[in-house]
Amino acid sequence: MLRIYYSNRLERLALAQASLLERPLSDPLLPERIVTQSPATANGLAQRLAERLGVVANVDFALPASFVWEVYAQQLPQGPPRALLDRQSLVWAVFDRLHALPVDPAFAEPANYLRGDNRELRTYQLACRIADLLDQYPVYRPDWILAWERGEESHWQARLWRLLTEGAAPRHRARLWDELRTLSEASGLDPARLPERVSVFGISALAPVHLDVLERIARLTEVHLFTVNPSLAWWGDITSARDLARLRARWRAQRRPDASEYYEAGHPLLASMGHQGRELFDQLQGLQAEELELFEEPEADTLLAGLQRDLLILTDRSGADQDPSEVRPGDLSVQVHACHSPLREVQVLHDRLLDLFERLPGLEAPGLGGNGPRHRRLRALRGGRLRRRPGGPPHPPVHRRSLTPGLRPARPGADRPARVSREPAQGIRGTRAPGGARRDEAFRSRCRGRGASAGLGARQRGALGSGRHGPGCPRPAGGRLA
């Protein structure tokens, strides 16, 4: 059974997910399987579920690729291969093939690029770009890869792929998907090896292979897909003004009649920035699934709420016959900042967060977590606490790492060697020498006796007013331990 939940608010989808978890599985020891697009989405969902249910335990979060790989491992008779064609191995394999390109008109395009100075550098750069494509084709274009292996295409990419896999017949991801599809059509999938219930939460884009695997296992188990849809209307075929202008120019160049009246402009934001969402909804429309709509109309009287309402009913206010939205004084719900560098982006974000804490006393840091992958640009927020501006109202102290989780681990204590030595993987063949526990305890006692229990560096101790080389600093303590 495949059930798809649509809503314009992620909070509403989280409530639906919590309601689903309130219905227990047949075995209380079985883990709940939830597939998310990123670890940040999983952390945010776990927090919302804990707020609703009181506690969240025995929930196994996974990324789409990891979950599909587990399905391959559990269902295919031979299982997935240990050695798989990945990007790193493809780079050097393509690099070797480009060095020895056959004299063939089909390879004229890459051969022309490799002519000239810096051939080695050009070859490596081209190998990296080609490896990126060949690494994505088995997931996003598996039919192309399978057709190339059957010899149905003769262009240079198809010939290069056949050269890379000549005599090897690797079981890459496209081949694994084809094996699972063949097994599914023969009714060979084992329901006992599938999770009793699978939830896919907050996915904005899904590879065709992954969606096909979910659709096939949904014939044998429960699959619930929670996706954000900003509009009640169908917006899968809307076109932005820029794309429509390009189409008109192409029609004029080809001396074809203007067919722009058959295209719908829709809302400009969805048309220009919703390409991935349109592709996902096009894929979902071809599935046999039960659909549930959980849309909510925004009630706030702000510019952001008005924009959300326009998206919900697909209203474009840029036309002359539409009344423009009024912006109330002090409305900061939508802000655009032009920053000249990533560091400036972080500084502006830092100031905006402090301003929000002052304006909204009940606001907490978990509500500000983002799901984007740009965590490297937020490193300026790590280490320390957000402090209120002088003269401003007090707000609850919020550690900066709570806004960007997982960016930097805490500085280890001086007794970390003793803790590491207790790990089985650190010893030879996972064993420890006789008397190892006694020596570890003696080492920890020496750490405590020399005042080396705190793993603070010189800069951290100076900021705390304890001196740059106090008695608990690792370097002096290390010298005393010697």
Indicate whether 283 belongs to any domain: no
- The answer to which of 129-133, 373-377, 385-389 has the lowest mean pLDDT is 385-389
pLDDT of residue 3: 93
Domain boundary (153, 170, 187) is at: 170
Residue 423 pLDDT > 60: no
> Phi, psi (5° rounding) for residue 351?
-65, -40
61 with 188, same domain: the answer is yes
Looking at residue 472, the DSSP 8-state letter turns out to be: T
- The answer to which of 52-66, 283-297, 385-399 has the lowest mean pLDDT is 385-399
Domain boundary (402, 428, 444) is at: 402
Q: What is the average pLDDT across 347-358?
A: 87
210 with 94, same domain: the answer is no
35 with 161, same domain: the answer is no
- Domains identified in the chain, total number: 4
Q: In what order do the strands lie in the sheet with 32-36?
A: 59-62, 32-36, 197-201, 222-228, 2-7, 290-293
Q: Which of 371, 356, 294 is nearest to 44 (CA)?
A: 371
Q: d(Cα 281, Cα 236) in Å, to the nearest integer? A: 7
Q: d(Cα 358, Cα 395) in Å, to the nearest integer? A: 7
Contacts of 433 (CB under 8 A, 6+ apart): 427
50 with 198, same domain: the answer is yes
Residue 430 pLDDT > 50: no
Domain boundary (150, 170, 190) is at: 170
Indicate whether 381 belongs to any domain: yes
- Which residue range forms the structural domain that includes residue 457? 411-419+452-482
Q: d(Cα 471, Cα 468) in Å, to the nearest integer? A: 10
Indicate whether 45 belongs to any domain: yes
pLDDT of residue 426: 39
- Mean pLDDT, the chain, as a whole number? 77
Residue 415 pLDDT > 70: no
33 with 97, same domain: the answer is no
24 with 147, same domain: the answer is no
- The answer to which of 73-77, 215-219, 396-400, 457-461 has the lowest mean pLDDT is 396-400
pLDDT of residue 398: 39
Q: End-to-end alpha-carbon separation of the chain, Å?
A: 65
92 with 60, same domain: the answer is no
pLDDT of residue 249: 85
467 with 357, same domain: the answer is no
Q: d(Cα 257, Cα 252) in Å, to the nearest integer? A: 8
Indicate whether 244 belongs to any domain: no
214 with 354, same domain: the answer is no
Indicate whether 157 belongs to any domain: yes
59 with 204, same domain: the answer is yes
Residue 285 pLDDT > 70: yes
Q: d(Cα 112, Cα 99) in Å, to the nearest integer? A: 13
Residue 414 pLDDT > 70: no
Indicate whether 371 belongs to any domain: yes
| Paired tokens of 267 | 């809302």
Indicate whether 217 belongs to any domain: yes
73 with 213, same domain: the answer is yes
Q: d(Cα 69, Cα 76) in Å, to the nearest integer? A: 10
CATH number of the domain to which 22 belongs: 3.40.50.10930
163 with 208, same domain: the answer is no
Indicate whether 437 belongs to any domain: no
